[in-house]
């Protein structure tokens, strides 16, 4: 998908299935026919609105449901580690879990600070495997972070990939060995750029089964 074709629109979007057409007809949310799942995109701290809106539109092509931008929650300074100049992702996930809307099936937190977990120098995102909550950071997805000129289209491509990847984890999908699959682990930004924003055939089939 070319990012130039994305349209910024309303915050709440009723979505039609593209990849999983008809998967709600037999089962759907809670086994009820015609009931769509609801996924909230929740900004954490100071996050530009435009990427959130564009992301909510782009995600409609990957998942079937209603995407809504939720109420912003504060970025806890208690999660900042000055010796690393980064924010600790695990307690941020805890804060996000406390802010899950009652009608949410999944929640994607989006923040624009550098994040980490102790085992890694940095992470692009984190998710509860098979759970409700996922998190992505926009900071290292920007070309400006590396001293390069701004590339808005590339930034949004990376953002979509990381969002789909982390939401995929919430549906129980694990890392995929296929370097082109969106569920492939990104050890570096190069890995993110190499992979596509789509699920490989095996991951797509597994996702269909889990959604049903």
Catalytic residues: 166
Q: Are 75 and 113 in contact (CB under 8 A)?
A: yes
Q: How many other C-beta atoms are found inside a 10 Å radius of the C-beta of residue 114?
A: 18
Backbone angles phi, psi at 12, to 5 degrees: -95, 130
Q: Which two tokens stand for residue 176?
A: 């995929």
Strands (E), 6-162: 13-14, 38-44, 66-69, 80-81, 86-88, 106-111, 115-116, 125-127, 133-137
């Amino acid at each position: 998908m070319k990012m130039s074709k994305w349209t910024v629109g309303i915050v709440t979007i009723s979505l039609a299935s593209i990849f999983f057409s008809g998967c709600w007809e037999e089962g759907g949310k809670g086994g009820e026919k015609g009931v769509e799942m609801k996924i909230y995109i929740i900004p954490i701290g100071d996050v530009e609105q435009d990427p959130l809106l564009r992301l909510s539109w782009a995600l409609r092509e990957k998942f079937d449901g209603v995407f809504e931008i939720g109420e912003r929650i504060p970025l806890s300074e208690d999660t900042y580690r000055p010796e690393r100049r980064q924010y600790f992702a695990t307690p941020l996930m805890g804060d996000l879990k406390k802010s899950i809307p009652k009608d949410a099936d999944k929640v994607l937190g989006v923040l624009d600070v550098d994040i980490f977990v102790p085992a890694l120098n940095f992470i692009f995102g984190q998710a509860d495997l098979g759970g409700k909550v996922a998190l992505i950071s926009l900071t290292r997805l920007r070309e400006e972070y590396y001293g390069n000129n701004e590339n808005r289209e590339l930034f949004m491509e990376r953002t979509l990939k990381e969002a789909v990847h982390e939401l995929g984890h919430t549906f129980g999908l694990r890392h995929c060995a296929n370097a082109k699959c969106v569920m492939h682990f990104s050890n570096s930004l190069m890995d993110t750029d190499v992979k596509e924003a789509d699920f490989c055939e095996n991951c797509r089939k597994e996702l269909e089964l889990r959604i049903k």
